[in-house]
Amino acid sequence: MDKRLVPLLPLVTKPARYTNSEVNAQHKEWTEDRVTMALAFPDIYDVGMAHLGFKILYALINSRPDALAERVYAPWVDMQQLMIERGIPLTALESGRDVADFDLVGFTLQHELSYTNILKMLDLAGIPRRTQDRREGDPLVLAGGPCAFNVEPFADFFDFVVLGEGEEVIQEILDVVKAAKQSRTPRQETLRELARLKGVYVPSFYRPVYDSGRFQGLEPLYPDLPARIEKRVARDLGSLPFPEEFVVPYTEVIHDRVMVEILRGCTRGCRFCQAGMIYRPVRERDPEQLKEQVAKLVSSTGYDEISLSSLSSGDYTQIRSLVKDLIAAYRGCGVTVSLPSLRLDSFAVELADEIQKARKTGLTFAPEAGTQRLRDVINKNVTDQDLKEVVQAAFQAGWHRIKLYFMIGLPTETEADLDGIAELAHKVLAWGREFRTSRKRPEVTVSMASFVPKPHTPFQWRGQDSLETLRAKQEYLRERLRHPGIQFSFHEVEHSFLEAAFARGDRRLGAVLERAVDLGCQFDSWGDELRFDRWLQAFREAGLDPVDYAQRSLDPEEALPWDHLSPGVDKKFLVREWELAQQAIPTPDCRWDRCTLCGVCFNLQVANRLTEVGSGD
Amino acid sequence: MTSTIRFQFTKGQEVRFLSHLDLVRAMERAIRRAGLPMAYSEGFSPRPIMSYSFALPVGVMSEAEYADFRLVEDWDPAYFMEQFNKHLPPGLRVLHAERLPEGTPALMSEINAALWRIRLPQAEQVAVEKRWQELQAVDSFVVERQTKQGSRSVNLRPLLFGVPRIAREGEAVEVHCLAAVGNQGNLRVEELGLLLGFDSAQALITRIGQFKKVGSAYYPPLGNRGCTWTE
């Protein structure tokens, strides 16, 4: 760590965030021939340490003799103030070196409300915010992650952007940067070189065209640049390296446990879900390989929990035998197994029962919508009957608290759909009274988010409800959910509004972002940190209307600021899905039904890859 | 064949900002990495059976922390120490371990005094010496202590034992002093600062001993158990 921070540590909350020396942290020597990369997470340590993507990259980069990676997190507000007062720049955890000294500074774009933190971190690091202001010797600033699929609001700030899975392309990037470092290649030429890599997008090499305030498209500045940048994707996860060690934090962080990725991608096809579109196709990891990974990680970290992560873990073909084997293997030493993303079906209850045995705390289900009709619209293929069976099974199996996730403001939503949410909550409570085996009183927790239109989804064209409408809907539900057995919460509408504006934003929003940071906006996703009035001021001063970005319904014919960034899904598939949605016609999952012609397999030359039941024996 | 091992360990520079909870968690993970044959508690979420001496404040180091680990096998203490040290994070180090005879009182019930080493900038020597002169003449030094229940008055003076040693040490001045720790009376480090007139947030503080105080004799919870310190 940076020695200059030591005297500040007694003055800040949770000083262990800044102290490094964790078990399995890599301290590689800074030699001339090594490419250095800072993995910069745009939130505090407690949040960033949970990110599996960076764990993978950290291990992968540090396994190369000619490269090293170190971690950087956003200091919390108290530490930031002290650093600014004393003129201490942002440094990396391992070596304590200035972030500005690295060859590469890579950010992950996990959600829109972390954007201000990125600019703030560049400011703290003393790295010029804008690509055009960076000089030879400044780091190359890059980004990846889900929001890279519409990175345009950040186009002026990132030197380059990576679309899709990082495991393979990072090697190519390191090779290019290493060669450039050795031959002292000028920055612009290095970027030209990087732009030749598949999956790499250099925003400054493209010029946006607007007509009377509307985005018309992007023009490449050089003839050899692709008009569309296609994401990177691995055919077989088994061929990708996976870390054998995780850095083990001292201080409490979220998801502090062994994590293995059992499958990547999801083809359920929920029409609001960006992850379901951009991570296709589905690729399962071999169960024997997973068990080996778990064994290595448990013994190198000493964690007491193993999490089997993916977008929908119940979909893993051999989930039952995998869970059973892991529980049997680790029961003796106090290590538990958890499945964070379980879809709602009776199978899920059996699995959860297997995992939780005696501790029946809470079970979470996400029906997303209150009526069958609306669930068909969003393609959440769960029926009323499924819901009833699964909830009854859960109460019978001994759970007493059921948590339900819903979205409000979905396309085609009517009052009946809102009523449906309230009715479902009351019904679950009634089933609880009827079927519970636990002595505890049944409880229902209802958590409601607002719909946010996301790029590359069938709902990308649909504007978000106005703030007033969303508030009115929340009020409507609040009255109908009031009951001693029901707890409920809503996402703040201001958060969802900004998310929508930036999710569907174009390059002009860069000015808004910059102004918002200057006005003191950061940590926007932290409930009480969001300064909405300053955001509105930032939009006003940039002469842009956030309502237009968030709430306007777009024409499927019009050019979108993310058309050139391709996850492999065809736009005509999205249009088709959008039309089916409006007729409330669901589309089945291509894993078990016919091909939906989304385009991914054809465009990227990949295919769903499921493990065979019994293949691990 | 179960056994209990009591050991003394350090909390060094690298880990001084860990809370007690962080420390316990780090220990649990090291236990698992080292494959120690711990006895686990009953119930649904079994935890290794272990107990510690009084929690060290965040930011304070120690050369004399103590813990009792219950094992399901009878391990040689030297082997235990060797195996555990291989897997402990930097800054945490077992210095000494021994088998605990059945019926030995728990650490928390025995320990009632701690020996502190406080490293201060040289400039503070005069102030601390002057304060000690004043303290010698009085038997009461009352401050308001904030607790979860609100604030109450506490007389700190009787919580400081014997005569502090104040000595120049290179560029700094070092204060060694004995003070009460535990349920029968506890002098917090910031109160020690109030009492002796230094800012505890800016001082480098190390706990270098923990004892069972009997009259003016001090017995450590480990080792030959003879009196190793007197006022």
Average pLDDT of span A54-70 = 98
Residues of chain B with CATH 3.30.70.580: 3-101
Please indicate whether, in this complex, the C-beta atoms of B33 and A300 are within 8 angstroms of each other. Answer: yes
Minimal C-alpha gap between B30 and chain A (Å): 6
Sign of the CA dihedral with A288 first, then A292, A293, and A297 last: positive
Give the contacts of A31 (CB within 8 A, at least 6 positions apart).
Answer: none
> Distance between CA atoms of A24 and A232, rounded to whole angstroms?
29
Give the contacts of B140 (CB within 8 A, at least 6 positions apart).
Answer: B155, B157
Residue B158, helix vs strand vs coil: helix
Predicted confidence (pLDDT) at residue A22 exceeds the cutoff of 80: yes
Kindly write down the DSSP assignment for every residue of A429-469, as one continuous string: HHHHHHH--SSSPPEEEEEEEEP---TTSTTTTSPPPPHHH
Q: Which residues of B touch A360 (CB under 8 A)?
A: none
Region B3-101: CATH code: 3.30.70.580
Low-confidence ranges of chain B (pLDDT < 70): 224-227, 229
b/e burial code for range A44-72 (CB count within 10 A of at least 16 → b): bbbbbbbbbbbbbbbbbbbebeebbbbbb
B69 phi/psi in degrees, rounded to 5: -110, 130
Please indicate whether, in this complex, the C-beta atoms of B17 and A15 are within 8 angstroms of each other. Answer: yes
Please indicate whether, in this complex, the C-beta atoms of B30 and A357 are within 8 angstroms of each other. Answer: no
What letter would DSSP give residue B66?
A: E
> Distance between CA atoms of A431 and A80, rounded to whole angstroms?
51
DSSP E strands, A145-239: 160-162, 200-201, 206-211, 214-220, 229-230
Q: Tokens 């990676």 identify what position?
A: A69
Q: How many C-beta neighbours within 10 Å does residue A365 have?
A: 22
In angstroms, the Cα distances linking A421 to A47, A394, A424, A481 are 31, 19, 5, 9
Q: Write out pLDDT tens, residues A380-416.
A: 988 888 889 889 988 998 889 999 999 999 999 999 9
Task: Spell out the alpha helix ranges (H) of A66-212.
Answer: 77-86, 115-125, 166-182, 187-195
Q: Which residues of A touch B27 (CB under 8 A)?
A: none
> Distance between CA atoms of A144 and A265, rounded to whole angstroms?
17
Please indicate whether, in this complex, the C-beta atoms of B47 and A9 are within 8 angstroms of each other. Answer: no
Residue in A251, A252, A302 closest to B30 by CB:
A302
Q: Which two tokens stand for residue A200?
A: 């790499």
In angstroms, the Cα distances linking A276 to A50, A59, A146, A338 are 21, 27, 11, 22
Average pLDDT of span A270-295 = 97
Residue in A250, A300, A336 closest to B22 by CB:
A250
Average pLDDT of span A463-477 = 98
In angstroms, the Cα distances linking B59 to B173, B200, B205 are 19, 10, 8
Between strands A140-144 and A160-162, the pairing is parallel
What CATH class is the domain B110-230?
A: alpha beta
Q: Which among A3, A12, A14, A304 is the top mutation candidate for probing chain B, defined by the most B β-carbons within 10 Å of its own β-carbon?
A: A304
**Interface check A252 vs B, CB under 8 A:** yes
Q: How confident is the model at residue A617 (pLDDT cuts 50, 70, 90)?
A: very low
Please indicate whether, in this complex, the C-beta atoms of B26 and A21 are within 8 angstroms of each other. Answer: no
ipTM, interface predicted TM-score of the complex: 0.89
Q: How much is the pLDDT for A616?
A: 41
Give the contacts of A117 (CB within 8 A, at least 6 positions apart).
Answer: A42, A43, A74, A522, A523
Q: Write out pLDDT tens, residues A412-439.
A: 999 999 999 999 999 999 999 999 998 8
> Distance between CA atoms of A132 and A204, rounded to whole angstroms?
8
Q: Tokens 């579109």 identify what position?
A: A277
Q: Write out pLDDT tens, residues A340-380.
A: 767 766 677 777 877 776 566 678 888 999 999 999 999 99
Question: How many CA atoms does the CB half-sphere of B79 hold within 13 Å?
Answer: 7
**What is the side-by-side order of every strand in the sheet holding A140-144?**
A67-73, A35-41, A104-108, A140-144, A160-162, A200-201
Q: How distant is the alpha carbon of residue A135 from its chain centre?
A: 31
Q: How much is the pLDDT for A125?
A: 98
**Interface check A338 vs B, CB under 8 A:** no
Residue of A nearest to B58 (CA): A10
Average pLDDT of span A207-235 = 95
Please indicate whether, in this complex, the C-beta atoms of B18 and A251 are within 8 angstroms of each other. Answer: yes
Question: Bridge partners of A69?
Answer: A37
In angstroms, the Cα distances linking A432 to A61, A368, A385, A421 are 51, 20, 16, 17
**Greater confidence, A354 or A617?**
A354
Q: Which residues of A touch B40 (CB under 8 A)?
A: 334
> Distance between CA atoms of A131 and A124, rounded to whole angstroms?
16
Residue of B nearest to A299 (CA): B33
Please indicate whether, in this complex, the C-beta atoms of B28 and A251 are within 8 angstroms of each other. Answer: no
Residue of B nearest to A361 (CA): B44
Please indicate whether, in this complex, the C-beta atoms of A16 and B22 are within 8 angstroms of each other. Answer: yes
Please indicate whether, in this complex, the C-beta atoms of A9 and B17 are within 8 angstroms of each other. Answer: yes
> Distance between CA atoms of A143 and A229, rounded to whole angstroms?
15
Please indicate whether, in this complex, the C-beta atoms of A22 and B25 are within 8 angstroms of each other. Answer: no
> Distance between CA atoms of A337 and A327, rounded to whole angstroms?
7
Q: Which two tokens stand for residue A270?
A: 């929920």
Q: How many C-beta neighbours within 10 Å does residue A505 have?
A: 28
Q: How much is the pLDDT for B227?
A: 67
Please indicate whether, in this complex, the C-beta atoms of A334 and B48 are within 8 angstroms of each other. Answer: yes
Q: How many C-beta neighbours within 10 Å does residue A469 have?
A: 16
Q: Which residues of B touch A333 (CB under 8 A)?
A: 32
Please indicate whether, in this complex, the C-beta atoms of A299 and B33 are within 8 angstroms of each other. Answer: yes
Question: Bridge partners of B219?
Answer: B212
Average pLDDT of span A155-159 = 98
Residue B205, H or E segment: strand B204-214
Q: Which residues of A touch B59 (CB under 8 A)?
A: 9-10, 15
Q: Which residues of B touch A294 (CB under 8 A)?
A: none
What's the distance, Cα to Cα, between the start and end of chain A in Å?
A: 46
What letter would DSSP give residue B152?
A: E
Q: Which residues of A touch B42 (CB under 8 A)?
A: none
Residue of A nearest to B88 (CA): A23
Residue in B29, B44, B47 closest to A248 by CB:
B29
b/e burial code for range A197-228 (CB count within 10 A of at least 16 → b): bebbbbbbbbebeeeeeebebbeeeeeebeee
Please indicate whether, in this complex, the C-beta atoms of A304 and B22 are within 8 angstroms of each other. Answer: no
Q: Which two tokens stand for residue B231?
A: 């006022």
Predicted confidence (pLDDT) at residue A12 exceeds the cutoff of 80: yes
Predicted confidence (pLDDT) at residue A489 exceeds the cutoff of 50: yes
Q: Which residues of B touch A24 (CB under 8 A)?
A: none
**Greater confidence, A389 or A93?**
A93
Please indicate whether, in this complex, the C-beta atoms of B25 and A299 are within 8 angstroms of each other. Answer: no
> Distance between CA atoms of A367 and B11, rounded to whole angstroms?
49
Q: Write out pLDDT tens, residues A29-48.
A: 999 999 999 999 999 999 99
What's the distance, Cα to Cα, between the start and end of chain B in Å?
A: 41
Please indicate whether, in this complex, the C-beta atoms of A302 and B45 are within 8 angstroms of each other. Answer: no
Question: How many CA atoms does the CB half-sphere of B90 hold within 13 Å?
Answer: 10
Minimal C-alpha gap between A330 and chain B (Å): 11
**Peptide bond between residue A281 and the one before it cis (omega within 30 degrees of 0):** yes
Across all residues in chain A, what is the average pLDDT?
94
Comparing C-alpha atoms, which of A61, A58, A73, A68 is closest to residue A17?
Answer: A73
> Distance between CA atoms of A569 and A185, rounded to whole angstroms?
36
> Distance between CA atoms of A421 and B113, rounded to whole angstroms?
60
> Distance between CA atoms of A617 and A615, rounded to whole angstroms?
6
Residue of A nearest to B18 (CA): A16
Minimal C-alpha gap between A244 and chain B (Å): 13
